[in-house]
């Protein structure tokens, strides 16, 4: 995939979440659907993975390692007291982290996109994995809402 296609895909995830999830009442989003959980829980996991990805990308680009406490299962910085945050707040936090990721990606040269990083994978490959993670979460959200799965 081209760099622009990858960036467009990252943007599309947030746009889709804003159109499909944000307008819905919190009562519907917080309802657990058996073992599948709730839309709110799924958005929380999506937010957490985006925050970690954005931080790891920043570490890779700047060369400044993340503080040790970010490597364990402690809450992501800025979300420590957010267990009761509404889905709208979680979406906003996801959007902020996604915009940070996008800003860093837009500043990369072609060579940086194709450089191997940890595990021998390129940033391009890592973004493809992030988009796959997005698709999995969007499909789960659509299933929980009973919405048709968007074509990828």
pLDDT digit string, tens, across residues 126-138: 999 999 999 999 9
> Could you tell me if 26 and 86 are in contact, meaning their C-beta atoms sit under 8 angstroms apart?
yes
In a domain, 132, yes or no: yes
* pLDDT at 67 (0 to 100): 59
**DSSP 8-class letter at 32:** -
Could you list the residue range(s) of the whole structural domain that residue 110 is in? 3-145
CATH number at residue 18: 1.20.120.450
25 phi, psi to nearest 5 deg: -70, 145
Overall pTM surpassing 0.85 (yes/no): no
Nearest to 93 by CA among 32, 31, 139, 40: 40
The tokens describing 25, both together, are: 């009442």
In a domain, 111, yes or no: yes
Our count of domains for the chain comes to 1
The tokens describing 69, both together, are: 């406490």
């Amino acid at each position: 995939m081209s760099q622009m296609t990858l960036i467009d895909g990252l943007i599309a995830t947030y746009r889709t979440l804003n159109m499909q999830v944000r307008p819905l009442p919190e009562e519907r989003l917080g309802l657990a659907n058996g073992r599948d959980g709730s839309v709110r829980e799924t958005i929380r996991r999506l937010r957490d993975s985006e925050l970690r990805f954005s931080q790891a990308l920043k570490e890779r680009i700047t060369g400044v390692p993340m503080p040790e406490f970010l490597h364990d299962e402690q809450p992501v910085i800025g979300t420590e007291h957010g267990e009761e945050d509404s889905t709208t707040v979680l979406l906003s936090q996801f959007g902020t982290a996604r915009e940070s990721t996008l800003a860093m990606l837009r500043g990369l040269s072609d060579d940086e996109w194709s450089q191997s990083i940890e595990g021998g994978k390129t940033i391009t490959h890592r973004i493809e994995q992030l988009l796959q993670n997005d698709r999995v979460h969007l499909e789960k959200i659509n299933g929980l809402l009973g919405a048709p799965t968007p074509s990828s």
